[in-house]
């Protein structure tokens, strides 16, 4: 009950209106206000601009340009691993999917079917598989990369709420990642199918993918789906696949017997894009 009380205000906040307003501010190109906002944000959250391709805060024309900044080519070398970490951030949870149940936090679970928008056939491919939930804080690099080579087959936009996705909210809001707005990206790989889900949150102005661009807005009340079976959209390990315009969470699903996590991967641990996430288990 105390955990529920600690996030009660999030049920009461006008999250949609706040998110719409934040999106407008982030897109704005105001010669006076935008540089001040960027400088304040970088100082407030301790953003490391030394690793940015463009370290000059004053040169960014909008907050979105700054927030989705590129890194220097040498800033995130790829580990020699079957699977690499797709983002900078922290591990919220990772491990085994118990039949179709994913651990959100102590005392909270949700189903893979709920995460992918109710598609039971898609979710069933990951029964007893592996999952990883990775949280991106405001200070982090907010481009999302491929954990392994993959060919895109589907993209599903699932409408939902806009709760915060910070650790405290994950502990207090049941089914958080299957309640919030999200973009589910489905890939085929040499290891079988996998899902990479971009989860929205309060003041996340939008989510974008490299092959489509900005997926939301518009924010619709119904599920939208795009099929790519007849196209060869192939992305290599470490290649950018999407980005958050203001930060959030990534949830990945892998089939049974495909992924053995790096032994250092434990909840709460800080992570960097390109580091070793895991390997295919030895036969």
Given 62, 100, 140, 145, the catalytic residue: 145
Q: Which residue has the higher pLDDT, 6 or 29?
A: 29
* Predicted confidence (pLDDT) per residue in 103-150, tens digit: 887 668 889 999 999 999 999 999 999 999 999 988 899 999 999 999
Highest mean predicted confidence (pLDDT) among 1-10, 16-25, 65-74: 65-74
The confidence score (pLDDT) of residue 1 equals 44
How many angstroms separate the CA atoms of 91 and 73, rounded?
A: 24
Two tokens at 206? 């939008």
The confidence score (pLDDT) of residue 14 equals 46
88 classed as catalytic: yes
145 classed as catalytic: yes
Given 88, 100, 119, 140, the catalytic residue: 88
* Predicted confidence (pLDDT) per residue in 163-220, tens digit: 666 666 667 666 667 788 899 999 999 999 999 999 987 655 578 999 999 998 777 7
| Helices and strands (H, E) in the chain, number of each type | 9, 18
Dihedral of alpha carbons 117, 165, 175, 97, sign: positive
Q: Would you give the end-to-end CA distance of the chain in angstroms?
A: 45
230 classed as catalytic: no
């Amino acid at each position: 009950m105390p955990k529920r009380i600690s996030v009660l205000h999030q049920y009461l906040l006008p999250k949609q209106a706040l998110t719409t307003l934040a999106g407008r501010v982030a897109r704005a190109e105001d010669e006076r206000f935008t540089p001040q906002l960027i400088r304040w944000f970088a100082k407030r959250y301790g953003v490391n601009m030394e690793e940015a391709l463009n370290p000059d805060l004053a040169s960014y024309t909008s907050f979105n340009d700054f927030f989705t900044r590129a890194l220097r080519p040498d800033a995130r070398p790829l580990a020699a691993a079957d699977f690499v970490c797709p983002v900078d951030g922290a591990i919220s949870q990772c491990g085994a999917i118990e039949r179709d149940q994913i651990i959100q936090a102590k005392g909270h679970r949700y189903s893979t079917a709920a995460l992918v928008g109710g598609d039971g056939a898609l979710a069933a491919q990951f029964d007893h598989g592996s999952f990883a939930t990775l949280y991106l804080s405001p200070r982090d690099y907010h481009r999302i990369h491929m954990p392994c080579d993959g060919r895109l087959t589907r993209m599903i936009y699932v409408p939902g709420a806009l709760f915060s996705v910070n650790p405290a909210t994950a502990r207090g809001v049941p089914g958080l990642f299957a309640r919030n707005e999200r973009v589910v990206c489905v890939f085929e790989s040499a290891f079988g199918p996998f899902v990479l889900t971009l989860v929205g949150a309060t003041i996340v102005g939008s989510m974008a993918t490299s092959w489509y661009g900005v997926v939301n807005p518009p924010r619709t009340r119904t599920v939208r789906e795009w099929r790519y079976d007849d196209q060869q959209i192939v992305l290599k390990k470490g290649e950018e696949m999407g980005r958050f315009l203001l930060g959030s969470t990534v949830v990945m699903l892998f089939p049974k017997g495909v992924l053995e996590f790096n032994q250092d991967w434990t909840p709460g641990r800080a992570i960097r894009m390109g580091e070793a996430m895991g390997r295919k288990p030895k036969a």
